Amino acid sequence: MSKYLIVRIITRLIIGGPTLHTVLLTNSFSREQDFDSLLVCGQKNPGERDMYYLADQYYVKPYYIEDLGREINLTREVKSIYKVYKLLKEVKPEIVHTHTAKAGLVGRLAAWMAGVPVIVHTYHGHIYGYYFGAMKTYFFLTLERLMALISDAIIAISPRQAEELARLRLGAKKIKVIPLGFDFSRIINGQKGFLRKRIGLQKDVFLVGIVGRLVPVKNHELFLNAAKIVAGNCRHKNVRFVIIGDGEIDYRKSLEKKAEELDLTQKVIFAGWQEEMASVYQDLDLLVLTSLNEGTPVTIIEAMAAGCPVVSTDVGGVADVVEHGISGLLAPSGDAEALADHMLKLLEDDKLREEIEQNAKEKVLEKYSVARLHDDLRELYMQILNDKRKVKNNHVQSSRSG
């Protein structure tokens, strides 16, 4: 028995990176003693920061699969499937719940091979249309459709994402919408002034931030183009722009070069990875998201809970979180002028900004609590388990009567 297994029999196994979502789920189910849970994680890529500190904060001890990484490598994929299969045969879980594309493929296939009774997968976004060319996209879509056949439930984290998954024929009849859940206590109690002190800014500076991995799908170039417009048109406030997050080194270099070309070197700060995100949101006056695609945007929900107003591109499930003009402002994808116009509106209209802050905070605190997420998933798990047991009992009775 591995040193990471804290119970003898695991009734629920989560496969996915040590994100806030998976850590909160593992902690919640173990604490409430509904299901004994184990979180299985893969390795991080070079240039990405380790998020295992989240597991430590919530007393979760992940089981680490070295070959389960984000990058595609056929040899490692085979090894990781075998290692997960061995783990499943050892602990014999009743439920395997996977998260993210790579873990979803490896975990579901291994679970099917190991005869796990219940297999569930959550989509937190998708990889189709922005990461790969047409041939690779078709190949991965085919794999996902095959994985949907062996899944008992496919979870979308927003209604729009559910529609998209159904359109892509990814287990349409099995799709359930279950929004994300968060521990908002840490967000609300963030330390004000922490980020500004770290990057050397005073309280009177209006700080506009973008939070996310430095990868093309986050479209930081659009953020910089909008920042250029805002910097040239904002007359009433001393404004700075901060880019928070790490990722692909070459992509960061290209963003730094673009900032220089736009003459934004003195206006844009590359703050890198920040572990104290609760304190980051407390110091931002405005959060901007410019992604080409999103499932349910975690950064937006966290910012709204912290009382930080949001401007975002209207993509994926963003509109399921942000109601335009009420709890935030939305701009068409790729439209730097519209994005900048919304940013300027909130920069210059204090009353509107305060109204949006209040509306946003009330909405997310009610809709996205971890307690609600726990109850929704528990109900789904029990429904699937009970249905499977009924089918099994009926089969046994039919065999006996025959």
CATH number reported for the structural domain that contains residue 126 in this entry: 3.40.50.2000
Q: In the Cβ-directed half-sphere of 306, how many Cα atoms lie within 13 Å?
A: 26
Number of H helices, E strands in the chain: 16, 13
For range 299-307, the mean pLDDT: 94
Is residue 193 one of the residues assigned to a domain? yes
Residue type, 152: D
Pick 70 or 39 by higher pLDDT: 39
pTM for the full model?
0.73
Question: Per residue in 58-94, pLDDT tens?
Answer: 888 888 887 776 666 778 889 999 999 999 999 899 9
pLDDT at 9: 41
Summarize pLDDT for 40-52 with one digit per residue, the tens. 887 665 545 556 6
For the segment 220-266, what is each residue's pLDDT rounded down to a tens digit?
Answer: 999 999 999 999 988 767 899 999 999 888 999 999 999 999 999 99
- Are 177 and 162 a contacting pair, CB within 8 Å? yes
Neighbours of 33 (CB within 10 A): 7
The residues, any chain, with a CB within 8 Å of residue 84's CB and separated by 6 or more, are: 15, 40, 65, 68, 106, 107, 110, 111
Structurally, the chain folds into a number of domains equal to 2
Q: How confident is the model at residue 294 (pLDDT cuts 50, 70, 90)?
A: confident
| Domain of 147, in residue numbers | 12-181+370-401
- Counting residues of the chain whose pLDDT is more than 90, the rounded percentage is 54
Report the alpha-carbon distance of residue 23 to residue 253 in Å, rounded. Answer: 32
Structure tokens belonging to residue 104: 């979803």
Rounded Cα distance, 330 and 360, in Å: 13
Q: What is the mean pLDDT of residues 277-281?
A: 91
SS3 content of the chain, % helix, strand, coil (to 5): 50, 15, 35
Tell me, yes or no, whether 292 and 212 share the same domain: yes
pLDDT tens, position by position, 120-133 = 999 987 655 555 67
- The reply to whether 249 and 137 lie within a common domain is no
Collapse the DSSP code of 313 into the 3-class scheme (helix H, G, I; strand E, B; otherwise coil) and give the result: strand
pLDDT of residue 7: 30
Q: Do 207 and 151 belong to one domain?
A: no
Q: Where are the beta strands (DSSP E) in 61-150?
A: 63-64, 95-99, 118-123
Does 390 lie in the same domain as 361?
Answer: no
pLDDT tens per residue across span 138-197? 888 999 999 999 999 999 988 888 998 999 999 999 999 999 888 888 888 888 888 999
311 with 392, same domain? no
